Amino acid sequence: MSVNTTDRLGARAPSRSEVRRRGRGVSHARTGYLFVAPFMLVFLGLLVLPLAYAAYLSLFQERLIGGTVFAGLDNYTRALTDPRLLGGMGRVALFFLIQVPIMLAIGLLAALAIDSGLLRAAKTFRLGIFLPYAVPSVVATLMWGYLYGQDFGPFAQLAGKLSLPAPTFLSSDWMLGSIANIVTWEFTGYNMIILYAALRAVPHDLYEAAAVDGAGAIRTAWSIKIPALRPALLVCLIFSVIGSFQLFNEPQLMQRLAPSVIDSAYTPNLYAYTLAFTGQEVNYAAAVSFLLGAVIVVASYAVLFMSTRRSRS
């Protein structure tokens, strides 16, 4: 730095009182807006506007013959009594109730195991569990679809060698479980990473205090680590609510293998997609999407509400 620059800076630098007088709030706020602007633009353009447009669309009915007419809330009343949509909602709710606890439990155990420091090759283990998350869900589903294959899949062949009937992973009884297995395989590692990161942030004094009190590894995990993980678990849970209710890729790809099991209304998202792109019922699809969004908001809020109440009590 040259002397010259320092001089100039010195000459320009306002005194502290000056800063206070100009109002730190205003000038900082302006800069703040500037920083937030790119996000706000993207947010408006890619989220708010499309949502508003979809809301607008959902109020009309466009038909192949007769063009577009204003339908008011007709699409919504139709959706609320549509057995195919309600069936799909019920299915994803069931999926959420069974798959998510299993996935979070495995993720939590894995995170605690790595954090305990007792594992050998912890890094390899961590990577191994996380790796499926790096596989795109489409690829994962294709892979599992092959494994599930009723004639030539490895499980079927193994069963054949043992003279057992081939497992019917793709039948209507098993399909939801088969999809749950794929989703668990994919996302356990993701949840594990969130939980593990949260564990690393737990202050070490707590562990020391526990050790002084004579707590073993399991007691420490139960009484210190898991309570400390509550906010992180909540994040995982909210993501899972959203993921479950938006289930789309897995059922859509499994549809190729078992089209008679997975129909176009298997999940609400698949139904909305089919309505828009197969039936050209864009308006009704918009209404269905909005209702799905509303269900997700309500479910997320319910999860949040219950967990905060529990933590207070």
Identify residues 243-272 at the interface with other proteins (CB under 8 A).
Answer: 246, 248-249, 252, 256-261, 263-264, 269, 272
188 makes contact with other proteins (CB under 8 A):
no
Q: Determine the Cα–Cα distance for residues 195 and 231; give it in Å rounded to an integer.
A: 9
User: Which CB sits closer to other proteins, 206 or 293?
Assistant: 293
Q: Residue count at the site for other proteins (CB under 8 A)?
A: 51
Identify residues 131-150 at the interface with other proteins (CB under 8 A).
Answer: 138, 145-146, 149-150
The CB density around residue 96, as the number of other CB atoms within 10 Å, is 20
- Which of 38, 67, 117, 214 is close enough to bind other proteins by CB under 8 A? 67
CB of 302 to other proteins, least distance (A): 20
Residue 203 has φ and ψ, to the nearest 5°, of: -60, 140
User: Which CB sits closer to other proteins, 33 or 53?
Assistant: 53
CA dihedral 184, 188, 190, 193 (to 10 degrees): 170
Distance between alpha carbon 8 and the CA centroid of its chain, in Å?
Answer: 52
Q: Are 65 and 73 in contact (CB under 8 A)?
A: no
Strands (E) located in the chain: 60-63, 67-70
Q: Are 191 and 270 in contact (CB under 8 A)?
A: no
User: Which CB sits closer to other proteins, 167 or 293?
Assistant: 293
E strand or H helix that includes residue 51? helix 49-57
CB of 172 to other proteins, least distance (A): 8
Q: How many residues does the chain have?
A: 313
Q: Are 57 and 282 in contact (CB under 8 A)?
A: yes
- Which x/- pattern over 147-186 shows residues binding other proteins (rule: CB under 8 A)? --xxxxx---------------------------------
Q: Determine the Cα–Cα distance for residues 117 and 138; give it in Å rounded to an integer.
A: 35
130 makes contact with other proteins (CB under 8 A):
no
CB of 260 to other proteins, least distance (A): 3
Identify residues 95-124 at the interface with other proteins (CB under 8 A).
Answer: none
Task: Give the residues lining the site for other proteins (CB under 8 A).
Answer: 46, 50-51, 53-54, 56-57, 60, 62-68, 138, 145-146, 149-153, 246, 248-249, 252, 256-261, 263-264, 269, 272-274, 276-280, 282-283, 285-286, 289, 292-293
